[in-house]
Amino acid sequence: MENVKRKMEENAKNCPSDSNISRVLFSNQLNKSNESTLCFNKAHFSRSDFNVERFINLARRRANLSQIHNDLRVYLKIVQNSMIELINDDYADFVNLSSSLVGLKDSIEKLNKDVESIWDDFFSSTSSLISAATNIEKYSIDLAECRQLQICIRSKISLIKAIERLSEILNNKPDELDGFWMSKLADSIVDLELWYKKVGSIDDKLLQLVEARSSCIVSVREIVEQWLIYDLEKDCQHINVLLGILILTDSLDSTVSKVMTEIIDCKIEKRRDDLERFLYSIFAEIKKMRKHFISKAKKNGNCNLDVTAFLDKCLLTYVMSILDQDRNPFILQYFGSVLIPSDNRLFHRCFLSTCEFISSWPNPASSRIVLRMIRDKFNLLVYFKLETQHILAELKESTIYEKINLIEHGSEIGNEKLYYQYSVIVINAFGRIWSDDVFLPPLIDKFWDFSIKLLSSYLGWLDKISRYSLAAVERNDDNIESWRLLCALRSDAATLDARIFDLALLTVWKKIREIEVVLIFWLNIFILTYKILDVTTFGQCLSFFSSRIAEKIEDLEKSSIEKVAKNLSKILEGVSDIPRHYRWTKKPFPAEASIYIIEAFSAFSDFQNEVGNRHWPSESIINVSRDILRVALIYFCKKAEQVLDSVEQTGSSLQRFKRRTTNLSDQSNTDTDENKIRNQLLFDLAYCLDWASNHSLELPVIVTLMERAKNVDVAIKEKVSAPAEMH
């Protein structure tokens, strides 16, 4: 690379001077021709990856280093010349721009002077206009205030005229109802109210007008109320116009009170002897009066929504007032014991009568608020507590262990019997709260919840009684056998489960479906808090309760099997005393089963009779009896086998000893004590085998033991050969 550079320097010395080259570059055409004759491609200089060595290598393919050097200097001059031309062009543009800016500045200064003079002229010309506009605005405000005062004065004058006109109409009141006069009265009231509202604010100067207006309105109210009472008692011919006047004077509330006092209350017969009949007569008379008023209004073509709403308000407000114990102390002595119940049956009947009255009321949507207030007068929460608190008290008392006793002959519930007082209380309570004499539709959620709590408490009681109460009962003086308590408890659980299911299916479901039918109507009246009921959850609770009862029944059956089998096994242990009864006692040869075996199966029969009397299902009796018998007989066979083992071990030595001591060598083998023991075992085993066969119970061990007891020699040989085989 250094050699190449040295050669380029030597060639530079031999190349033409700059003055010669510059003369060649003055012409553009000459520049272009020089560019076309260059030995390299000038595009290489614009590449981003330009490399000197690569450029030299490519250029040397077309020329030598001297030629390359000359061409490079030529290209340099071309570039410099182009740059000079660009600079000259930009400078010319700059000079032109500067001269233009100078002219523009002069124009702007001239325009500024013109604008200032124009603004001065504008301000001077508009100042007079502003002054004139200000004066006009002031005069306009004064004129508007004056006009407003004129309007107010005219309104006051019109109000005074309206009061005078209304007073004149009132002074010319006809002796009888006149439709034309009432139309004039209504127009004058409308005129009076319009001008009164037009006046707006009332100052001290207008107090006399206000008093005059109030006096006129009071007079109108009294006259129209009297005529309305008269019209209601007659034929309701003008009730529509009269109500319109009362609405204009905002007097409906006082009119309702007057109608209640002078018309409705006079037609209600006050009774003290029978509150239920008294309330029923009130409802009947209210319905009768409504029907009578509506029929008269329809007959004269005056029955519209306003008339119907007014009549409903009067009648229903009277019903509400007669039940309003807080505001009517006289009525309190009638319905105080009903609204806050002291007699639940009376409360129930009166509430249902009220609900029937509400449900049969025509067009309930317009009277929703009053109807709801009538229903809310009854204290349902107190009623519910009174109905359930004695049940809770009885349940609490019956859980005291010292008071847990069996009902001797059972308490009949329908066609079934219950043997524990707690079961009787639960079933009676469940049936009672859903009975027609107790159940109320608005309390369905509370009765539902209470029913679930009853079932839950019964499950808890079953757990406690099965775990703890038996030990406490067995310590009592009555000495009741625990298995009898278990049998009764199992019977109660099954009976209660079936009874609860029947009540739910026949009573609870039926009432819920009835409520679903009428509930939409109730919702339209009261906007009640409870919803359309879904019995799925309640059904799931009952299914869970039945499954838990089934588990408890299974546990009780297992406990019964364990206790009865234990008692039988204890009695069957008497088989161990057979050798003691026949050895050295000279008792006669046995002819029947032992007393203990008869006693054991007598106890077993007592159990079967007990569960039969407790109305256990036949299948359960058979299965439980078979399980008890299996456990007891297996235990008996173990004891009998032990007796046979002892007899076989000691039999031969005892026989020889007895023959020597008694000199009875000619005594038969059949009369020995061991034979008596074996024969007694045969009788006992045969007795057990009969009982097992009667209960379809197969126990091969009994047959095996009987064979051993029959064959004396075989038994002895087995005992002798067994040790030999072991050796």
The answer to whether position 637 is within a domain reads yes
The answer for residues whose C-beta is within 8 angstroms of residue 641's C-beta and 6 or more apart is: 701, 705
Find the mean pLDDT for residues 624-631.
Answer: 89
Q: How confident is the model at residue 95 (pLDDT cuts 50, 70, 90)?
A: confident
Of 301-305, 310-314, 544-548, the one with minimum mean pLDDT is: 301-305
Helix axes 65-171, 52-60, angle to 10 degrees: 130
Same domain, 350 and 384: no
Query: In the prediction, which pLDDT does 20 show?
Result: 40
Q: What would the pLDDT profile of 637-694 be if each residue is shown by its tens digit?
A: 998 888 888 887 775 555 555 555 554 444 444 457 788 888 888 888 888 888 988 8
Q: What would the pLDDT profile of 122-175 be if each residue is shown by its tens digit?
A: 887 788 788 888 889 999 999 998 988 888 888 888 888 888 888 888 888 887
Query: In the prediction, which pLDDT does 661 show?
Result: 55
Residue 209 has pLDDT above 50, yes or no: yes
Same domain, 571 and 690: yes
Query: In the prediction, which pLDDT does 548 show?
Result: 92
Residue ending a domain, among 327, 347, 376, is 376
Q: What would the pLDDT profile of 478-497 be if each residue is shown by its tens digit?
A: 445 778 888 888 888 898 99
The 3-state DSSP class for residue 418 equals strand
Residue 439 has pLDDT above 80, yes or no: yes
DSSP symbol at 530: S
**Domain containing residue 397:** 380-533
Same domain, 366 and 254: yes
> In terms of pLDDT, which residue wins out, 365 or 325?
365
> In terms of pLDDT, which residue wins out, 412 or 279?
279
The answer for residues whose C-beta is within 8 angstroms of residue 211's C-beta and 6 or more apart is: none
Residue 531 has pLDDT above 70, yes or no: no
Query: In the prediction, which pLDDT does 525 show?
Result: 43
The answer to whether position 54 is within a domain reads yes
Torsion over CA: 217, 218, 220, 221 (sign): positive
Residue 182 has pLDDT above 70, yes or no: yes
- With tokens 């349902």, the residue in question is 380
Rounded to two decimals, the pTM is: 0.65
> In terms of pLDDT, which residue wins out, 407 or 446?
446
Query: In the prediction, which pLDDT does 526 show?
Result: 43
Residue 450 has pLDDT above 90, yes or no: yes
Query: In the prediction, which pLDDT does 5 show?
Result: 43
Query: In the prediction, which pLDDT does 434 show?
Result: 92
Residue 698 has pLDDT above 70, yes or no: yes
Find the mean pLDDT for residues 712-719.
Answer: 42
Q: How many domains does the chain have?
A: 4
Same domain, 88 and 55: yes
Query: In the prediction, which pLDDT does 331 show?
Result: 45
> In terms of pLDDT, which residue wins out, 664 or 712?
712
The answer to whether position 402 is within a domain reads yes
The answer to whether position 154 is within a domain reads no
Residue ending a domain, among 533, 556, 573, is 533
Measure Cα distances from 315 to 224, 243, 328 in Å.
Answer: 19, 16, 17
The answer to whether position 305 is within a domain reads yes
Query: In the prediction, which pLDDT does 181 show?
Result: 85
Same domain, 515 and 574: no
How far, in Å, CA of 535 to CA of 556, rounded? 31
The answer for residues whose C-beta is within 8 angstroms of residue 169's C-beta and 6 or more apart is: 181, 184, 185, 188
Burial label, 527 (beta-carbon count in 10 A; 0-12, 13-18, 19+)? exposed
Same domain, 416 and 527: yes
Same domain, 371 and 512: no
Find the mean pLDDT for residues 249-267.
Answer: 87
Q: Quick one: how far is CA 402 from the chain centroid?
A: 41
Nearest one of 672, 616, 389, 328 to 495, comparing CA atoms = 616
Find the mean pLDDT for residues 179-190.
Answer: 85
The answer to whether position 260 is within a domain reads yes
Same domain, 421 and 274: no
Query: In the prediction, which pLDDT does 141 show?
Result: 92
The answer to whether position 708 is within a domain reads yes
Same domain, 365 and 386: no
Same domain, 321 and 433: no
Same domain, 185 and 281: yes
How far, in Å, CA of 559 to CA of 509, rounded? 36
Query: In the prediction, which pLDDT does 329 show?
Result: 46
Please name the amino acid found at residue 555: D
> In terms of pLDDT, which residue wins out, 125 or 439?
439
- The Cα diameter of the chain in Å comes to 179
Query: In the prediction, which pLDDT does 55 show?
Result: 84
**Share of the chain residues as helix, strand and coil, in percent rounded to the nearest 5:** 80, 0, 20
| Percentage of residues of the chain with pLDDT beyond 70 | 80
Query: In the prediction, which pLDDT does 71 show?
Result: 86
How far, in Å, CA of 121 to CA of 128, rounded? 12
Same domain, 287 and 344: yes
Average pLDDT value for the chain = 78
Burial label, 353 (beta-carbon count in 10 A; 0-12, 13-18, 19+)? middle
Of 132-141, 263-272, 282-291, 600-609, the one with minimum mean pLDDT is: 263-272
Residue ending a domain, among 517, 533, 549, is 533
Residue 91 has pLDDT above 70, yes or no: yes
Query: In the prediction, which pLDDT does 524 show?
Result: 46
Q: How confident is the model at residue 454 (pLDDT cuts 50, 70, 90)?
A: very high
Query: In the prediction, which pLDDT does 17 show?
Result: 44
How far, in Å, CA of 573 to CA of 447, rounded? 55
Q: Is there a contact between 672 and 678 (Cβ–Cβ < 8 Å)?
A: no
Q: How confident is the model at residue 516 (pLDDT cuts 50, 70, 90)?
A: low
Query: In the prediction, which pLDDT does 675 show?
Result: 83
Query: In the prediction, which pLDDT does 471 show?
Result: 61
The answer to whether position 200 is within a domain reads yes
Q: What would the pLDDT profile of 316-348 be if each residue is shown by its tens digit?
A: 988 888 877 544 444 445 565 566 667 788 888
Strand-pair partners of 412:
417
Query: In the prediction, which pLDDT does 696 show?
Result: 84
For residue 618, the domain's CATH number is 1.10.357
